[in-house]
Amino acid sequence: MIETILSNLALIIGTTLMYSTPLIYTSLGGVLSENSGVINIGLEGMMVIGAFAGAAIGYFVGDPWIAFIGAGIAGGLFGLLHAFACVTFGANQVVSGIAVNFLGAGIALFLSRMFFEGATMTKSIALDNKMPRPLNGVFPDGSLLKIIFDNQYATVYLAFFMVLIIWFFMYKTKYGLRLRSVGEHPTAADTLGISVMRIRYFAVIMSGVFAGFGGAAMSLAIVSNFRPTLISGHGFIALAAMIFGKWKPQGALLACLLFGGAQGLAVFLGQFDFEISTQLISMLPYVITIVVLIGFVGKSAAPSADGIPYEKEHKY
Amino acid sequence: MGYENVTQSLTKVIEMKKITKKFGDFVANDSVNLDVFKGKVHALLGENGAGKSTLMNILYGLYSPTSGEILINGKKVDITNPNIAIEHGIGMVHQHFMLIKPFTVAQNIILGQEPTSKMSVLNMKKALKDVKEISERYGLYVDPNAKIEDISVGMQQRVEILKALYRGAEILILDEPTAVLTPQEIVELIQIIKNLTKEGKSIILISHKLKEITAAADFCLIIRRGKHIDTVVVSETNEEGLASKMVGREVSFSVAKDDKESGDEIFSIKDLIVKDNRDIIAVDKLNLSVKKGEILGLAGIDGNGQTELLEAITGLRKVESGEIKINGENITNNTPFQVISKKISHIPEDRQKRGLVMDFDISENTILENYYKYPFAKRGVLQYDNIRIYAKELIDKFDVRPKEESKMARTLSGGNQQKVIIAREVTNNPDLLIAAQPTRGLDVGAIEFVHKALIEQRDNDKAVFLISFELDEIMNVSDRIAVIYEGKIVGIVDAKDAEVEKLGLMMAGGGNE
Ligand SMILES: Nc1ncnc2c1ncn2[C@@H]1O[C@H](COP(=O)(O)OP(=O)(O)OP(=O)(O)O)[C@@H](O)[C@H]1O
Ligand SMILES: [Mg+2]
């Protein structure tokens, strides 16, 4: 009895890690962008394009890491676009984000039809060309650790490592200090000779890169191809996780684990024959997102200048 | 002696020559000259909107001048951004502080020039040591680990000065440094300025308080509506002389006020208890009343419950217990909308946060409370023609500059923002006018104007409740003076019998009669 409970628990932990991973990358992207003062609801679109680029490059080139980096570059290009609109032209950041979302989905579909004989779905990557599973076969058969780690892709471990890196960058390096200062009070940063433009460009592009990674973590590891419904709101969930995590990388990590856990649970419950329809169960992560956002999020945590375009010669 | 003779033997560190700055068609600086000398304090005096901050923002590289040139230590320099200004030893403390609230004092000071070890990793140990060193050297004591949001305004200002000194500033621009300080903090600041000049630093000081200019400055440049008027040696003139040069006419420092019998009590507060943001009692069983045709002044040091009292009256903060009445009607815990409709008007403490919508133009700001009423709206649709006509009237009557009702509130100078608020509130013809710090940051001409407006209300048999940290203002304008200390009224005196020493003592919690 105890044994089945433990192994079920291990199974849920395993799926939680798996499903949290794309969210973690993407919400780290959100953390970077919004701490520099640029709202990024375009994460979804950046994730979609990353997922497509990962799957397509993975299929044609065959190397998962090249595909992963390619996904980051694709996301980064969309980040550049968002930065161009919001930082250079001071456009409304929400509107630009929405445009990025439409564009991401549209371009991914267009390119898919172009390169895959009109199909909206990319062809599957050969199993050997997917992300490696570093701990595959390391643990003895039947052990709980095996249940948790045996099938985890390298992207999972990398995600946790990235949280550490971003945390260190933001709180322990001078560029992190500058990035946060620009998100809190750009005029003050400007008076100290810090280039608000440059920092925001960097942050928004990196935000796209991470969302691209997030998408690829989906299409190169969890599944092995791209389809238009693959991302379906994960970018928004990552955004919510970043908010729930109070705009901090460590907070976002915990929130992603929570949302990923909800998804893992939904998958786990899905295997039983319940009276409840599976559609309702699959709603779980989304419902939890909404409940959490309504119930637990204070307003004060956002960087003060988040969402406000910065103009020079604006009255000081 | 004259300016030329006095300055002959001094070293010029900065020369601003024929600086002109236009915003669109509007000329904010019109061929202004400014020389700064080593180890001296140069004051900048001018009405609100005269162009003082603009001139300094040019020197600091935040605005680029339309024409004119700047010489530093005799060499022409193009200051296109603050980095260049910092490199040339210019530091600036802005009128509105440029501090990052959630950061610590040390983080704010080092930002942009952070000490690092390998790979851009912050070396906070060295940062703390550096901060401690300069703060001891200039007697500017701060707690480097405190967060900005937790320290007083006076402390924040020290941080601003330290920021400049950390960057090796030899020339320090202080833009209205005393507008938000308590009298004690002002005395300390003047001492700090003296210490700095002794070390050979040069200071540019902007202030509307003539007392401070005569106490701290060596020279004074006077600007009027963007134009260079004169540069004088401060020791050869006096406050009256400076004031009339600045405004272009005689200014009276004490307001003319006729004796007047006050009428019936119209506004009263009984046993009021209000809590502050931290849930601590800020207003503690306070009792107060204001009569028709009188100005009741509330004297007290900042932080003794004034803000909470105001917010409670105006419906912005919950009243725990007690009663607030106007015209016999209970308005305790009414909404701001209800309070306004009971004919209470409010000139708020923080004009940018609560007085104006900064991204609305002047005309829209003048109807914030009446936007839904005829003639400003007809069947729910705003009548912009009527609104504009109304705004033009107010602009004329209250001398708001520039005279353009379509100008964004954000782009007005502090004094003119205040005039817009006063125009709106007074024109509402309230039974009770509450004025909180109505002259903070205003020039002497504008102060005279505000005081006249308050007295006119009183002469029209209206009640006025004036809250101010400036004892001079309270004593000049009020009919009766109440003193608040730790949320309680500790004494009420007739303004005619008020003595500074006695009030000061009461404000500090002593001498309760
Ligand atoms: N960015 C801007 N855009 C348009 N107009 C501006 C801008 N900055 C300043 N002005 C205008 O230039 C004039 C001078 O403003 P400035 O802030 O220099 O005045 P000031 O002398 O510092 O006044 P105060 O004593 O009230 O601070 C004002 O009329 C203001 O409306
Ligand atoms: Mg100014």
Residue B95 belongs to a domain: no
Question: Are B489 and B299 a contacting pair, CB within 8 Å?
Answer: no
CA-nearest residue of chain A to B121? A173
Report the predicted TM-score, pTM, of the whole model to 2 decimal places.
Answer: 0.83
Contact B111 A181 (CB under 8 A): yes
Pairing of strands B329-330, B319-326: antiparallel
Q: Is some CB atom of chain B closer than 8 A to the CB atom of A192?
A: yes
Residues of B whose CB is below 8 A from A313: 62-63
Q: With 70 as the cut, is the pLDDT of residue A45 above it?
A: yes
Q: Is the CB of B410 under 6 A from ligand 1?
A: no
pLDDT tens, per residue, chain B with 513 residues: 788 888 888 999 999 999 999 998 889 999 999 999 999 999 999 988 899 999 999 999 989 999 999 999 999 999 998 889 999 999 999 888 899 999 999 999 999 999 999 889 999 999 999 999 999 988 888 999 999 988 888 889 899 999 999 999 999 999 988 877 777 788 889 999 999 999 999 999 998 888 899 999 999 999 998 999 999 999 999 988 888 888 887 777 777 788 888 889 999 999 999 998 878 899 999 999 999 999 999 998 878 899 999 999 999 999 999 999 999 999 999 999 999 999 999 999 888 888 999 999 999 999 999 999 999 999 999 999 999 999 999 999 988 888 999 999 988 887 889 999 999 999 999 999 999 989 887 888 888 889 999 999 999 999 999 999 888 899 999 999 999 999 999 999 999 888 888 888 888 877 554
Residue B67 in any domain: the answer is yes
Residue B333 lies in a domain: yes
Residue A26: pLDDT over 80: yes
Residue B338, domain CATH: 3.40.50.300
- Partner residue facing B111 (CB), from A172, A192, A316: A192
- CA angle B311/B316/B319 to nearest 5° reads 75
Is A313 touching B (CB cutoff 8 A)?
A: yes
For residue B362, the cross-strand partners are none
Whether B410 contacts chain A with CB within 8 A:
yes
Name every residue whose Cβ is closer than 8 Å to that of residue B406 and which is 6 or more positions away in sequence: B361, B362, B363, B388
pLDDT class for A253, splitting at 50, 70, 90? very high
3-class SS of residue B223: strand
CA distance B226 to B163: 29
Per-residue tokens: B337: 């909308």
Q: Could you tell me which of A262, A223, A232, A247 has the C-alpha nearest to residue A303?
A: A247
Could you say which DSSP state residue B495 is in?
A: G
Last residue of a domain, one of B126, B141, B166: B166
Closest Cβ opposite residue B96 in set A194, A314, A316 = A316
Query: What pLDDT score does B251 carry?
Result: 72
Cβ–Cβ of B111/A184 closer than 8 Å?
Answer: no
Which residues, in sequence order, are CB contacts of B247 under 8 Å at separation 6+?
B47, B224, B443, B444, B445
Supply φ then ψ for residue A46, to 5 degrees: -65, -35
Give the Å distances, CA to CA, from B339 to A72, B109, B289, B345.
56, 44, 17, 8
| Residue that wins the pLDDT comparison between A127 and B302 | A127
In this prediction the ipTM stands at 0.88
The verdict on B202 and B268 lying in the same domain is no
pLDDT at A1 over 50: yes
- Whether B328 is covered by a domain: the verdict is yes
Residue B259 and residue B339 in one domain: yes
Q: Which residues contact B389 (CB under 8 A, 6 or more apart)?
A: none
Distance CA B394, CA B388 (A): 10
Q: Is residue B368 part of a domain?
A: yes
Same domain, yes or no: B270 and B339: yes
Give me the number of domains chain B comprises: 4
* Least confident span in A13-27, A277-291, B195-209, B269-283: A277-291
The distance in angstroms from the start CA to the end CA of chain A is 68
Handedness of CA B40, B41, B44, B45 (dihedral sign): negative
Cα–Cα dist A285/A274, whole Å: 18
Considering all CA atoms of chain B, what is the largest pairwise distance in Å, rounded to the nearest integer? Answer: 75
A250: tokens are 């460590």
Reported as a pLDDT band with limits 50, 70 and 90, residue A155 is very high
CB B409 within 8 A of CB B384: no
* Helices assigned H by DSSP within B434-509: 444-459, 471-477, 500-507
Among B166, B181, B216, identify where a domain stops. Answer: B166
Check A193 against B86: CB less than 8 A apart.
yes
Residues 6+ apart with CB under 8 A from A263: A15, A16, A19, A284, A285
Q: How far is CA B321 from CA B84, B151, B285, B326, in A?
A: 57, 30, 8, 17
* Residue B356: both structure tokens together: 């104006």
DSSP H helical ranges for B26-152:
52-59, 82-87, 105-110, 124-137
> B125 and B7 in one domain?
no
Give me the sign of the Cα torsion angle B57, B63, B68, B74. positive
Residue A5, both tokens: 């409970």
CA dihedral B126→A303→B168→B151, nearest 10 degrees, is: -80
Average pLDDT over residues A148-167: 96
Residue B267 near residue B432, CB atoms below 8 Å: yes
Choosing among A185, A192, A196, A247, which should be mutated to test the B contact, i.e. which has the most B CBs within 10 A?
A: A192
3-state DSSP assignment of residue A159:
helix
pLDDT at B228: 92
Gap between the Cα atoms of B256 and A60, Å rounded? 88
Q: Are B44 and B55 in contact (CB under 8 A)?
A: yes
Q: Give yes or no for a contact between A71 and A77, defined as CB atoms under 8 angstroms apart.
A: no
Does residue B96 sit within a domain? no
* Structural domain contains residue B94: no
| A218-222, A309-313, B172-176, B441-445, range with the lowest pLDDT | A309-313
Same domain for B277 and B206 = no
**What per-residue confidence (pLDDT) applies to B368?**
94
Same domain, B339 and B259: yes
| Cβ–Cβ under 8 Å, residues B109 and B163 | yes
Regarding whether B85 and B28 lie in a shared domain, the answer is: yes
Name the residue with tokens 């002794």: B198
One domain for residues B64 and B197: yes
Q: Does position A316 have pLDDT exceeding 50, yes or no?
A: no
Residue B167 · residue B91 · CB < 8 Å: yes
Q: Chain B: give the shortest CA distance to residue A227, in Å.
A: 41
Closest residue by Cα to atom 24, ligand 1, is B48
DSSP, res B303: T
Do B363 and B508 share a structural domain? no
Are B376 and B496 contained in the same domain? no
According to DSSP, the residues that pair with B346 across neighbouring strands are B434
Co-location of B81 and B175 in the same domain: yes
Query: How far is ligand 1, taken at its centre, from the CA of residue A316, in Å?
Result: 9
Q: Which residues lie below 8 Å from residue B454, measured CB to CB, with a gap of 6+?
A: B295, B433, B435, B438, B464, B466, B477
Per-position DSSP letters for B58-83, written without gaps between them: HHTTSS--SEEEEEETTEE----SHH
Of B62, B103, B116, the CB nearest to A191: B62
User: Which stretch of DSSP H or E encloses residue B36?
Assistant: strand B26-37
Q: For residues B39 and B176, state if they share a domain.
A: yes
pLDDT of residue A3: 85
Token couple for A15? 């799926």
Helices (H) and strands (E) counted in chain A, each on its own, are 13, 0
Cα-to-chain-centroid distance, residue B340: 25
CA B145: distance to chain centroid? 28
* B139: containing domain: 101-166
Length of chain B as a residue count: 513
Provide the pLDDT for residue B511: 56
Identify the domain boundary among B383, B405, B429. Answer: B429
Q: List the residue whose alpha carbon is closest to atom 8 of ligand 1.
A: A315
The DSSP element (H or E) to which A22 belongs, if any, is helix A2-35
Q: Give me the pLDDT at residue B3, please.
A: 85
Chain A contact for B352 (CB, 8 A cutoff): no
Q: What is the pLDDT of residue B512?
A: 52
